[in-house]
A and B are shown apart, each in its own frame.
Chain A
Amino acid sequence: MSTDLELALYVFMLATFLGLEVIRKVSPLLHTPLMSLTNAISAISVVGAIAITGAADATALSRALGFIAVTASVTNIVSGFLITDRMLKMFKRRGPDK
């Protein structure tokens, strides 16, 4: 049990430092798409929500809560990725001079 926790803390620590380094390199130009992208990624809670909703021993309460949670996460995943791409498509370099 405690080794699981230690391992999880190591993963957390490394991921946080990695996140700080990677994000620091993102150009301020793209901070808004970055935020909607991380939004979509943090909807990874869908993993927990699916496990709750689909469990064999789910009670009515946990199934209902899980259903709302999956819906909310999927909304984030779908709208997050799509709107990020929509924004990024708009960023163009100066084309041939008109």
Chain B
Amino acid sequence: MTVDHVINYIYIVSAALFILSLKWMNSPATARRGVLAGELGMLMAIVGTLLRHEVVNYQWILAAFFVGSAIGIPIAYLMPMTAVPQRTALSHACGALAAALVGTAEYYRETPHGFVMVALVVETLLGFLTFTGSLMAVGKLQEILPTRPIVYRNQNFINLSLFAIAVALGVRLILVPTQSGIFPVFAGLSMLFGVLLILPIGGADMPTVIALLNSYAGLSACAMGFALNNKLLIIAGALDGSSGFILSVIMCRAMNRSFTNVLFGAFGQLQPSQVQAEARSVRSASPEDAASILEAARSVIIVPGYGLAVAQAQHKVRELFDALTRRGIDVKFAIHPVAGRMPGHMNVLLAEADIPYDRLFEMEEINSEFAQCDVALVIGANDVTNPAARDDKSSPIYGMPILEVDKARTVMVIKRSMSPGFAGIDNELYYMDKTLMLFGDAKSFVSEIVKALPAPAARAR
């Protein structure tokens, strides 16, 4: 009895540490302390659980600890930062699978009824659908699966009916828990729904979807807490659930879309009506031209997009940043909330290249500064700079908040070709008189600009 009390106190401290851990994430100065608090909290939770009197058999648990660490440590150290979205989606899959399997095991062991069964059904439904949904997201992010939305006739109707059947079976299990024959069908349908849910989702919506899956994984852990009557699980699961929820709301807002639109809208298919027949002329420039324009500027804002990460240009951009800063030019980075493949991804990629984080600015902070800036250099970003989102009511992206690059005195865009971005629409920005298109691979183009910059001494006053 006393051991149980001690364990409960351990759990309370552990929950407090988790809350502190998230609280300390509010600033880069305290964030690493936050990780430490989280680690301590988790350690206490595990030790507390191992002390429980019903846990008598340790060999399988220890074996699982070893296998899990053997998988986890290489993932943590070898995963390149560009692949962090995939890793995150993969760990949503792992977390959800764990919750679903615990729920399944509990069901077959106890055949619970009443409220516990309700929690179990929620836990396994969310767990299994998040498991397969996250694996689909991994496939799309890793580009094993096509990143364009996959659509078919009556997709939403079929998906929703399937979900309705899964829920109906779940309700049936709650009412008559002994009908164990239903359980595998219920689990299978949940998994199938997870796959179908992600099929129609395109690359541009991945940040929202990852955040949403994060929330589901947390909620299924939370449901497990209800099933096991464990408050620590409820608290940790609810924290994770609300975190994923907030992030997906932020992502939706950054694209001016609703949840339903993201999940059922199949955004980013090529819209034939938008493809313009007339070839419009653009001005293009060489690296040398670009270098002399940058040299003459007082302030430069760089707008990075996912194309920069794909081209692995972060380190070259950092060289450009250094070269310009050394000349006394004010260089800032403007980060759109959906730049990259998951919330905040671009910041991590630039931080990895040693670009100081106090030079990275969020959209709201920096938008007013474009009007005073000499050069806006867009690297691998497209839709988030499209003025049509602000001006053209008929545009599919109308209303989406954008970086107001078009207000800068000169705009330079590094881009492989004139092909459209995720949304499949043309960008007005490229046809403006003050815009110079720099065609080429982001990495080699930026390094040529750096080479073409005259020696800093030449400018000494």
CB-based nearest A residue for B54: A55
Interface contact A50-B49, CB-CB below 8 Å:
yes
Mark each residue of chain A from 62 to 94: 1 if its CB lies under 8 Å from any CB of chain B, else 0.
110111111111111111111111111111111
Give A60 Cβ to nearest chain B Cβ, in Å: 11
Asked if A78 and B88 make an inter-chain contact with CB atoms under 8 angstroms apart, the answer reads no
In the assembled complex, B241 has its CB within 8 A of some CB on chain A: yes
B348 within 8 A of A: yes
Chain A residues with Cβ below 8 Å from B247 are: 23, 31, 34-35
Choose among B88, B94, B234 the residue that contacts A12 (Cβ–Cβ < 8 A): B234
Which residue on A lies nearest to B352, using beta carbons? A90
Most chain B CB atoms below 10 A, which of A19, A66, A78, A85: A19
Q: Considering only CB atoms and an 8 Å cut-off, how many residues of chain B contact the other chain?
A: 115
B243 touches A86 (CB 8 A): no
**A27 partner residues in chain B, CB cutoff 8 A:** 26-28
Residue B457 at the chain A interface, CB threshold 8 Å: no
Contacts of B61 on A, CB cut-off 8 Å? Answer: 50, 53-54, 70
A63 contacts across to B, CB distance below 8 A:
60
* Contact of A47 with B72 in the complex, beta carbons under 8 Å: no
Q: Mark B249-273, 1 if CB is under 8 A from A, else 0.
A: 0100000000000000000000000
Other-chain contact of B91, A51, A76, A86 (Cβ < 8 Å)? A76
Q: A19-B241, A35-B214 are in contact. Are A44 and B42 (CB under 8 A)?
A: yes
Closest residue of chain A to B322, judged by CB? A98
| B42 interface neighbour in A36, A40, A65, Cβ under 8 Å | A40
Inter-chain contact A37/B21, CB cutoff 8 Å: yes
* Interfacial chain A residues near B31, Cβ < 8 Å: 30, 33, 88, 91
CB-based nearest A residue for B18: A41
Label chain B's interface by main secondary structure: helix
Residues of B63-85 contacting chain A, CB below 8 A: 63-65, 67-69, 71-73, 75-77, 79, 81, 84
Tell me if B19 and A39 are in contact (CB < 8 A). no
Cα A81 to Cα B246 in complex, Å, equals: 21
Q: Do A58 and B358 touch across chains, with their CB atoms under 8 A apart?
A: no
Interface size class, chain A: 35 or more
Q: Does B169 make an interface contact (CB < 8 A)?
A: no
Bound Cα distance from A80 to B56, whole angstroms = 28
Bound Cα distance A22, B16 (Å): 13
Q: Is the CB of A41 within 8 A of B42?
A: yes
Residue from A7, A24, A39, A52 whose CB has the most chain B CB atoms within 10 Å = A39
Instruction: Determine whether B347 belongs to the interface, using a CB cutoff of 8 Å to chain A.
Output: yes
Q: In the complex where A28-B337, A62-B109 touch, is A8 in contact with B243 (Cβ < 8 A)?
A: no
Q: Which residue among A67, A83, A85 has the maximum number of chain B CB atoms within 10 Å of its CB? A: A83
Complex CA gap A46/B92 in Å reads 14
B195 interfacial by beta-carbon distance below 8 Å: no
Q: In the bound complex, what is the Cα–Cα distance between A77 and B21 (angstroms)?
A: 14
Contact, CB under 8 Å: B25 / A34: yes
0/1 interface trace, chain B 124-141, chain A, CB 8 Å (1 if under): 000000000000000000
> Are A45 and B102 in contact, with the CB atoms below 8 A?
yes
Residue from the list B68, B218, B235, B360 in contact with A70, Cβ < 8 A? B68
Which residues of chain B have C-beta atoms less than 8 A from A12's C-beta? Answer: 222, 225-226, 234, 238
Residue in chain A with minimal CB distance to B39: A81
| Interchain CB contact under 8 A, B360 and A29 | yes
* The one of B57, B102, B211, B217 that contacts A49, using a Cβ cutoff of 8 Å: B102
Assuming A44-B45, A72-B94, A76-B94, is B57 touching A53 (CB within 8 A)? yes
Kindly identify which residue among A7, A26, A76, A85 contacts B35, using a CB–CB cutoff of 8 Å: A85
Partner of A52, one of B87, B106, B226, B352: B106
Say yes or no for B171: interface residue by CB 8 A criterion.
Answer: no
CA distance A4 to B116 in the complex (A): 11
- Asked whether A32 and B348 contact (CB < 8 A) given A25-B26, A58-B57, A68-B101, the answer is yes
Give me 8 other A-B pairs in contact (C-beta within 8 A), A16-B238, A72-B68 excluded: A5-B115, A32-B348, A42-B214, A44-B236, A47-B230, A68-B98, A79-B71, A81-B39
Sample (8) of A-B pairs whose CB atoms are under 8 Å apart:
A5-B226, A31-B247, A38-B214, A46-B42, A53-B60, A56-B57, A72-B101, A76-B94
Please give the residue numbers on chain A whose beta carbons come within 8 Å of chain B beta carbons, in ascending order: 1, 4-5, 7-8, 11-12, 15-16, 18-20, 22-59, 61-63, 65-95, 97-98
